[in-house]
Amino acid sequence: MAPLTPYTYIQCPCSDESSPDADDDDRTFDPRAARSNYSLYGLEYLLYCEDCHQIRCPRCVAEEIVTYYCPSCLFEVPSSNIKSEGNRCTRSCFQCPICIGPLAVNSLEAQPDQTHLAAPDTPSASHGGPYILTCSYCNWSSTETGIKFDKPNSIYSQLAKLYNGGEHRLTPKEHKERRKEALQASAVSGDPLPDQTLDVETHFAALKAFYQSQLADANASTTGLSSLEGLGFASPASLSRIMSIYTGGSLHDKRAKSRIGTMREALTSDEGLQLASLDESSSISALRLHHASTIPPTTYQHQTPHLGALPPHTGGARFPSHLRPIPCLLRTKRSKRCPLCRHIISKPEAKVSTTRFRIRLVAGSYVPSISILPLNIPQPSPDGALAPLVPAQFLLKFLNPIFEPVRVTLATPSKTPGRFGAKVTVLCPEFEIDANTDVWEDALKDGVAGKDVAAGARVRRGTVGEDGQQQPEVGKIWERGRNWVSIVVEVVPASLRLDLLAATGKFAGGEGVDAGPLREDEDVLEIPMFVRVEWDADTGGDDVGSGVGKDQKEAKEKRELAYWCVLGLGRVRQ
């Protein structure tokens, strides 16, 4: 078992109200409940609204798009293209269908060792075509699916016109024209049009065209029949009459039936009817031969069909010959607003090439961070696991990031929730932390430079024992620094023995003791802790954390922030 690094997660207060047990005021937050994972965040994932004085998580912010871009070529995509051309880069940026590494455009004539990653649209090799896409990580190449390109640029549009194996794929428009010609030819020759297998997009286009023509016809004829409603073409009421999808009524309701109108079924592949070819024996033969090279479902299931993809049941998705290069998903830069006061709490630079933010109110600048250090761990296992039933002590170091001193109040249940409740004692649940004053101000004040100030300002509050070691004391903090305080928490982990659990359950007369096997991570000692932070803030301006105007002490306002967090201390020995 890997040793566990202590951790803290914060529950965004927004999830508290959505909890179904919210009316139970005394309820202790159970970090191990399955739902808790959806409301707990690492501090670095949380933002903060200065106006509402509240933590904001990804679930409780309103987002706006600043820019759309391709993460591979950094090309900025106009927002109008997203709806019309989709969510992928339409230039030459592709991911490997096997390992999702970036694919490079290479000339087929180039030496095989020339696999330097060429920037898209500017292949370094000045070789002539044909060109292929290659992965430098797993050595996949588009030749494995029979795909080559004439030009080294605009791979996306070239790929849209190619099926695997290299067969030309008609665009829906070309397809229409081709069928029109065939129709004329068949009218002359008298032969019926042959049915054909359509790919998903062509199938969709055929059905759409068919339905639209049927609706137009049906509408034309029904207006003559029942002019009562006199409805125009795209009228929802007439459509509902024709499609009658929602209507209840019995099966043989003649009235309902007569309302269905004259829209008929699709009858040919032109109209979108596709007969299923159920015979998959050739795929089974392929499986027999190539079973070792089948693609795990996790590789292809997570891809949505894109251009030129096969119809759903071609059975071949598992074979490498059916893979398609994955066009890079576009990304967005988003600014985030508080949903209540609409103030912007995060706004990135619009420029694609930078990862900087113009505004970013991270919760870490407002909420004290908690770090966990072992203080006194008796009889630890070699892997650092805690001994059951033996008191262990941890230091919790609270760091105050704001420019005001804060009062912190902690509350933990005396016994952690769950089957193996550990006893928890916070030796000093109430304390103050000094303001995060400018290091240089301190330096000027004391005439000492830089970091030594903080070190010099350390004050230990505990008593020193006979052996020269500091002893934790109830009601006293352990150590204090410039803008931090450490306190001691003592835990007595429960035994994880299931037989004991069953026995104590019986002893206590409890019938419903769950003596089932140990669940995943049930051996991790997690403490739910309710943190309340109070401070007096300036009311003068919006700049609570800016440190400006800290001499104008007259206008102060009491502020409070309260939330649950969970401290992961370590594993308990089994």
Q: Does 78 bind other proteins (CB under 8 A)?
A: no
Q: Does 140 bind Zn ion (CB under 5 A)?
A: yes
Q: Does 208 bind other proteins (CB under 8 A)?
A: yes
Q: Which two tokens stand for residue 140?
A: 């996949």
CB nearer to other proteins: pick between 130 and 391: 130
440 SS3 class:
helix
Which span sits near Zn ion by CB under 5 A: 139-147, 294-302, 329-337, 407-415?
139-147
Q: Which does 190 bind (CB under 5 to 8 A by kind): other proteins, Zn ion, none?
A: none
Q: Does 318 bind other proteins (CB under 8 A)?
A: yes
Which span sits near other proteins by CB under 8 A: 286-294, 346-354, 372-380, 459-467?
286-294
Q: Which does 98 bind (CB under 5 to 8 A by kind): other proteins, Zn ion, none?
A: Zn ion
Q: Does 231 bind other proteins (CB under 8 A)?
A: no
Query: Residue 241 Cβ, how far from other proteins at the closest point, in Å?
Result: 9
Q: Choose which of 6, 7, 14, 439 interacts with Zn ion (CB under 5 A).
A: 14
| Ramachandran category for residue 238: left, alpha or beta (phi over 0 → left; psi -120 to 50 → alpha) | alpha
Q: Which does 274 bind (CB under 5 to 8 A by kind): Zn ion, other proteins, none?
A: other proteins
The DSSP 8-state label assigned to residue 11 in this structure reads E
Q: Dump the DSSP string for 40-87.
A: EE-GGG-EEETTTTEEE-GGG-EEEEEEEE-TTT--EE-HHHHHHH-S
Beta bridge partners of 425: 490
Amino acid letter at 452?
D
CB nearer to Zn ion: pick between 68 and 535: 68
Cα-only R_g, the chain? 34
Q: Choose which of 86, 101, 172, 364 interacts with Zn ion (CB under 5 A).
A: 101
What backbone phi and psi angles, to 5 degrees, belong to 360? Answer: -155, 105
Chain positions 325 to 384 lying near Zn ion, rule: CB under 5 A, are 338, 340-341
Q: Does 255 bind other proteins (CB under 8 A)?
A: no
Interface map 145-164 toward other proteins (x if CB under 8 A): -x-----------------x
Q: Choose which of 6, 14, 30, 349 interacts with other proteins (CB under 8 A).
A: 14
Q: Which does 312 bind (CB under 5 to 8 A by kind): other proteins, Zn ion, none?
A: other proteins
Whole-angstrom distance, CA of residue 412 vs CA of residue 416: 8
Element (H or E) spanning 553, and its range? none
Burial zone of 416 (CB within 10 Å; 0-12 exposed, 13-18 middle, 19+ buried): buried
Q: Where do runs of H (alpha helix) occur along 195-260?
A: 200-225, 236-243, 254-259
Length of the chain: 574
Nearest to 166 by CA among 122, 130, 198: 130
Q: Report residue 359 CA to chain centroid gap.
A: 22
CB nearer to Zn ion: pick between 59 and 313: 59
Query: Residue 521 Cβ, how far from other proteins at the closest point, in Å?
Result: 8
Q: Which does 117 bind (CB under 5 to 8 A by kind): Zn ion, other proteins, none?
A: none
Q: Does 239 bind Zn ion (CB under 5 A)?
A: no
Q: Choose which of 60, 89, 501, 561 interacts with other proteins (CB under 8 A).
A: 60
Nearest to 376 by CA among 482, 462, 434, 454: 462
Query: Residue 115 Cβ, how far from Zn ion at the closest point, in Å?
Result: 12
Query: Residue 572 Cβ, how far from other proteins at the closest point, in Å?
Result: 15
Nearest to 108 by CA among 123, 90, 95: 123
Whether 164 and 320 have beta carbons less than 8 Å apart is answered as no
Whole-angstrom distance, CA of residue 100 vs CA of residue 452: 49
Q: Which does 329 bind (CB under 5 to 8 A by kind): other proteins, Zn ion, none?
A: other proteins
Whole-angstrom distance, CA of residue 480 vs CA of residue 43: 22
Q: Which two tokens stand for residue 20?
A: 């179904």
The DSSP 8-state label assigned to residue 420 in this structure reads S
Q: Which does 115 bind (CB under 5 to 8 A by kind): other proteins, Zn ion, none?
A: none
Query: Residue 100 Cβ, how far from Zn ion at the closest point, in Å?
Result: 7
Interface map 469-508 toward other proteins (x if CB under 8 A): ----------------------------------------
Binding site for Zn ion (CB under 5 A): 12, 14, 49, 51-52, 57, 59-60, 70, 72-73, 89, 91, 93, 96, 98-99, 101, 135, 137-138, 140, 338, 340-341
